[in-house]
Amino acid sequence: MQKTLNSLKLEFNSFSYFYRIILSVLAVVSLMIFIWNTCTHNVIIASLKVNYPHFEQDVFNISFPSDSEPIDTENFVTEDDPPKDEFDNDIPSEIGNHDYIVASGDTLSSILNQYGIEMPDIRQLVKADRHLYSLKIGQKFSWTLNTDSQLQRVVWEVSRRESRRYDRIQDKFKLSVLLKTGTWQRDRLTVVVNGSFINSAKLAGLSNSEISEVIKSLQWQIDFRKLRDGDYFKVLTMREMLDGQRQQSELIAVNLRSSGKNYYAIRAADGKFYDRRGSGLTSGFMRFPTIRRYRISSQFNPRRSNPVTGRIAPHKGVDFAVPIGTPIFSVGDGEVMVSKSSGAAGNYVAIRHGRQYMTRYMHLKTLLVRAGERVKRGQCIAFSGNTGRSTGPHVHFEIWINNHAVNPLTARLPCMRGISGEARQNYLDRVNEALLQFNSR
C-alpha cells in the first residue's frame, strides 16, 4: 500500500503546477458531490420516518440492491382485472374494446405499441392502407382484439364523412371505406339529475356513448357518482341523422352545475376538452412510482407465453427490481379502490384516476392507504416488498386506460398542458359560441 501511495505521489508531482491545481480541484468537487448525495439520501429516509412514525421500524431497513433479482419467468401475476363500479357496468362500450384520439406527435405505431400491439400487425395495417402514415390531430381510432390478443378490427374515423375499417383475414387486413350520407345537426339537451345520474341522462335522450363522453370530459373536476338531485348539466352535440334515425354523434361542450358551482368542458380542434380559458382539465402523472427509475426485471408483454404450458399468460405491467422498503408513490391524483393482501399479487394497491385511468402496485410490504381514501400525485402509498408470488424483491406496476392494460413505459399519460398561441384564440371563439348556445332559450 505504501509503495502504491509513493508511486501515485511521484506521478502527481511529475505534472506541471497548473495540472496539479486542476486535479486537486476535481478531487475536492468529487468528494463534495459524494457527501451531498449521501446526505440527500439520508434526508429522504428521515423525512419518511417523520411522516409515518406509527409504522414498524424494520420497514426502513432497506435491503441492498443486490437482493433485487429478476422475477422468475414462470411467476406470472394472476390477480383479477381492476375492480369496476356501477358506471363501468351501466355504460357498456358501443364501439369496441378501445378508442384513442390522435394527439400531436402520434404515429400509428406509437398509438398501438403502448397497448402491446406487435409490429407485424402494424406493418400489415400500413400495407393495407398507406394513408395511415398521414394521421391528423383529433382523429379517432377504435379497435378490438381476438382471443390471442391480436388485432381483429381497426376503425379509423378520418372525418365526419368518412371512416376506414380494417378487418383481419388470417395474417393480413382488408380495407373497407365507409362514406356517411346523413345530415349533421347541432342539438342542445338539458339533464336534471333525479336519482341515478346515468338513468337521468338516458331519460333526457343521451346515448351510452354520449354519456361516456360527458363523464370523460369532466372526469378530473367532479365525481359523477356524488351528484345530488337537482344538479343539472347542458350538453351540446353534433348528431348525424339518416332517415330520421341517429347514426352517430360528437360531444361539443358540457356545462354542469353542481352545489352552486359551474363546470365547463369544451372540445378543441385537437379533439381534447379544455375549460373556458383554454387550460387543461387533466391531472398530470409521474412516469414512475419511485423517486428514481430502477432496473426493469420484467417488461410489459400482453402475449407472454408460459414456458411450461405454452398458454398465453399476459404480463400486464412492468416489474422494477427495488430493495425491500423502497417508498412507492401514487403517480397521480385519485381514489384508492383496493388496498389489501390478495394471493399472487401479495399486498397491493389499486387507484382510480378520473374515469379512464387506473394504476396498480403489487408485491408490497406495508400499505399506507385504505380503500376510499383520496391521494395526491407523489404521495407515499406503500413500501415495496416481496409478498405474493414473487422470487425477488420488486414492485409490479400497471397502468390501465379504459379498463385495458397499457405499457407503463410508453403510455401516453395525461398532462395539464393548455392551449396557447393562435390555437388558443380559435379555441376561445369556440368557447364564446358554446356559451351563447348554453344561455339561449
**Residue 425 near residue 129 (C-beta atoms within 8 A):** no
Structurally, the chain folds into a number of domains equal to: 2
Query: Is position 233 within any domain?
Result: no
Select from 159, 179, 199 the last residue of a domain. 179
**Whether residue 299 is found in the same domain as residue 370:** yes
**Whether residue 71 is found in the same domain as residue 172:** no
pLDDT attached to residue 79: 52
**Whether residue 110 is found in the same domain as residue 73:** no
Nearest-angstrom CA–CA distance, 197 and 355: 15
Q: Which amino acid is at 207?
A: S
**Whether residue 327 is found in the same domain as residue 365:** yes
**Whether residue 383 is found in the same domain as residue 299:** yes
pLDDT attached to residue 255: 93
**Whether residue 72 is found in the same domain as residue 147:** no
CATH number, residue 291: 2.70.70.10
**Nearby residues of 138 by Cβ (< 8 Å), 6 or more positions away:** 101, 102, 269, 270, 271
Query: Is position 360 within any domain?
Result: yes
For residue 235 the three cell numbers come to 350538453
Cell 374494446 belongs to residue = 97
CATH number, residue 111: 3.10.450.350
**Whether residue 397 is found in the same domain as residue 340:** yes
Query: Is position 160 within any domain?
Result: yes
Query: Is position 28 within any domain?
Result: no
Predicted TM-score (pTM) above 0.85? no
Query: Is position 309 within any domain?
Result: yes
Select from 130, 163, 179 the last residue of a domain. 179
pLDDT profile of the chain (441 residues), mean per 10: 54 61 70 58 41 38 40 46 62 60 86 84 91 88 79 88 90 89 83 89 87 88 86 90 74 91 90 88 87 87 65 83 94 92 89 90 94 93 91 92 86 81 88 88 66
Q: Which amino acid is at 112?
A: L
**Whether residue 312 is found in the same domain as residue 390:** yes
pLDDT attached to residue 337: 92
| Best CA proximity match to 141, nearest among 105, 97, 206 | 97
Select from 135, 156, 179 the last residue of a domain. 179
pLDDT attached to residue 403: 80
Query: Is position 169 within any domain?
Result: yes
**Whether residue 76 is found in the same domain as residue 112:** no
**Whether residue 74 is found in the same domain as residue 144:** no
pLDDT attached to residue 94: 41
The residue range of the domain holding 360 is 67-81+285-406
Cell 407503463 belongs to residue = 408
Nearest-angstrom CA–CA distance, 246 and 345: 45
**Whether residue 74 is found in the same domain as residue 123:** no
pLDDT attached to residue 73: 41
Query: Is position 349 within any domain?
Result: yes
For residue 297 the three cell numbers come to 426485471
**Whether residue 77 is found in the same domain as residue 168:** no
Nearest-angstrom CA–CA distance, 337 and 374: 10
Query: Is position 374 within any domain?
Result: yes
For residue 372 the three cell numbers come to 376510499
41-54 CB burial, b ≥16 within 10 A, e <16: eeeeeeebeeeeee
Name 397's bridge partners. Answer: 318, 361
